[in-house]
Amino acid sequence: MGLRPFSPDLDAHAPGTEGYRRGVDLFNGAVSVSPRFVVTPASAVDVQACLVWLRREGFTASVRSGGHGVAGRAVAGEVVIDTRRLRDVTVSAEGVSAGSGLTWGDLDRALQARGLVVPGGTVSSTGVAGLTLGGGINWLLPELGLTCDSLIAVRGVTTEGDMVEISDVQAPEVMPFVRGFGHGLIVVTEFIYEPSVLPQRVRGGSLIYELLEAGQVLTSLVDASADCPTTINWSPALIHIGGRLVVSVDGVSTGPDPFDEWVESVVGPASRSTVRDRSYCDAQSMLDNPARWGARTGWRSLFLPSLSSRCIEEIVEAGRRAPSVGCQIFIERMCGAAKHPRRPSAFPLRDANYDILVTASWASEANDEVHASWLDSTADRLVEAESPHSPSFTYVNYADRKERGYANDSYSDLTAIRRQLDPGGILRPCYA
Ligand SMILES: Cc1cc2nc3c(=O)[nH]c(=O)nc-3n(C[C@H](O)[C@H](O)[C@H](O)COP(=O)(O)OP(=O)(O)OC[C@H]3O[C@@H](n4cnc5c(N)ncnc54)[C@H](O)[C@@H]3O)c2cc1C
């Protein structure tokens, strides 16, 4: 049974109710907090009523959309604002308007039907909201940049209860922070994106190589990266298939050069392939793995200007030391259009050419320590391998615990903007 502080349509779901259970159910099953209520607004007006109410009651709040943030900060407030009923998609002369409760799968499907695309997350259940506000690494990044580079404006509600639109015209001092550090500035109800034309041909999948070849595969790809057409993107990963550690070179091409032909010309023939022509939506969900939802999860990431041979050795060695089959290491490319944003953005990692994402998921609390220790030692060894080049800040969307500092000047400006938009410090962002 829910309380009804606002209107008959807007429940505040208390512990024990289905709405509460759904609201606190996150990708990372290790997150265990007990907010007082979960609120499920169906409109910006509902969000406004909610914020007025929780300010009056003196509650803190956090915003939950796709629930993928592994730090679990989406449920860190006393009241969780679950935006998943905000699901409208409209296309007009101003751009694509997307409700903040959509997943990338929802938005990709709606736009594909109209021959359009906004470059977004590579797993279809990830929320449009959290991913966009933190940057947004995606398959189309070499040509179109980060997801936030396509963002024209956001609409939403401040904790003071004001409905606002933030864009480069209306709020030029705030909008760059929305593109990269946008979590927890306001409750976003609507994202306005500049769409791109849907690629006519999309080819994607995974090329599998044996672990013995890992060093050569990674080195060859890195050496050839500068010559890779911008219509191809690839991401090698050390993952377990059927209990065996292998290298899976995942990727997508959207132009005349097929992704698999390019990779095999550089690396040599793969032992297995799932690459084929696909619809864009199919390519966007080819890495989905719903079984990981609710597992205990830890992530570490490192953004680097280059991958040295020592770093590649450490990556392969870390794969061999992995304590379970739930441990994976991904290498993502940060090249191309992401380096030259077409709109002002505070995203701090544009100089990087690669990021290494080290992830672990496991079932039982009894295995927390062994996985945390593998994650920490792997991250430390990678930093050591790349020192002194490694930056001391990480991608906020990949942080799995209190962010370890932003070593650039923009963080103090961000704090000032947060104070301006949320003077009472009501909203809990994902990095504080
Ligand atoms: C399986 C998986 C795949 C991923 N793939 C990618 C990828 O391809 N590229 C990439 O860049 N990242 C990826 N990520 C990381 C992802 O970008 C972040 O986890 C992101 O925060 C998820 O957004 P969400 O809305 O799903 O998460 P949530 O946990 O719901 O939200 C994360 C944070 O965003 C803020 N927030 C959410 N909604 C709003 C809102 N409406 N208004 C204001 N603030 C809000 C809150 O501070 C919240 O703590 C992936 C994560 C997972 C688990």
Reported as a single tens digit per residue, the pLDDT across 28-62 is: 999 999 999 999 999 999 999 999 999 999 999 99
pLDDT the model gives residue 413: 86
pLDDT of residue 361: 97
Tokens 């990830």 sit at which residue? Answer: 126
Taking only the tens place, the pLDDT of each residue in 340-380 is 999 999 998 999 999 999 999 999 999 999 999 999 999 99
Give residue 35's identity as a one-letter amino acid code. P
**Does the pLDDT value for residue 5 go beyond 80?**
no
Assess whether the C-beta atom of 141 lies below 6 angstroms from ligand 1: no
Cβ of residue 134 lying under 6 Å from some atom of ligand 1: yes
Examine the pLDDT at 402 and tell me if it is beyond 70.
Answer: no
Q: What is the pLDDT of residue 409?
A: 58
Substitution site in 27, 64, 164, 293 for ligand 1 pocket (most atoms within 8 Å of beta carbon):
64
The pLDDT of residue 431? 63
What percent of the chain clears pLDDT 90, i.e. is strictly above it?
A: 85
Q: Place 1 in a pLDDT band, splitting at 50, 70 and 90.
A: very low
Q: Is the CB of 228 under 6 A from ligand 1?
A: no
- Across-strand partners of 353? none
Residue 374 tokens read as 């593998």
pLDDT at position 410 over 80 = no
CA of residue 70 to ligand 1 center, whole Å: 8
CA pair distance 27, 126, nearest whole angstrom = 9
Ligand 1 within 6 A of 397 CB? yes
Give residue 131 CA to ligand 1 midpoint distance, Å: 4
Q: For ligand 1, is residue 348 a contact (CB within 6 Å)? A: no
Percent with pLDDT over 70 in the chain: 93
346 lines ligand 1 (CB under 6 A): no
Residue 79: partners with Cβ closer than 8 Å, 6 or more residues away: 12, 35, 36, 37, 38, 39, 50, 54, 59, 60, 61, 62
Query: What band does 386 get if pLDDT is binned at 50, 70 and 90?
Result: confident
234, pLDDT greater than 50: yes
pLDDT of residue 160: 95
Residue 349 CB less than 6 A away from ligand 1: no
Q: Which of 368, 293, 287 is nearest to 22 (CA)?
A: 293
| Minimum-distance ligand 1 atom for the alpha carbon of 297 | 53
Q: How far apart are CA 306 and CA 302, in angstroms?
A: 11
Confidence bin at 390 (pLDDT 50/70/90):
low
Which residues are paired to 304 by β-bridges? Answer: 354
Mean pLDDT score across all residues of the chain: 93
Q: Would you state the pLDDT for residue 407?
A: 47
Atom of ligand 1 nearest to the CA of 427: 47
Q: What are phi and psi of 125, to 5 degrees?
A: -90, -5
Pick from 133, 159, 331 the residue to mutate for probing ligand 1's pocket: most ligand atoms within 8 Å of its CB: 133
Is the CB of 121 within 6 Å of ligand 1? yes
Q: Is any atom of ligand 1 closer than 6 Å to the C-beta of 312?
A: no
- Tell me: the pLDDT tens digits for 254-307? 999 999 999 999 999 999 999 999 999 999 999 999 999 999 999 999 999 889
Residue 411 binned pLDDT confidence (cut-offs 50, 70, 90)? confident
> Closest Cα to atom 15, ligand 1: which residue?
397
- What is the chain's percent helix, strand, coil content, to nearest 5? 35, 25, 40
The token pair that represents 173 in the structure block: 């001092």
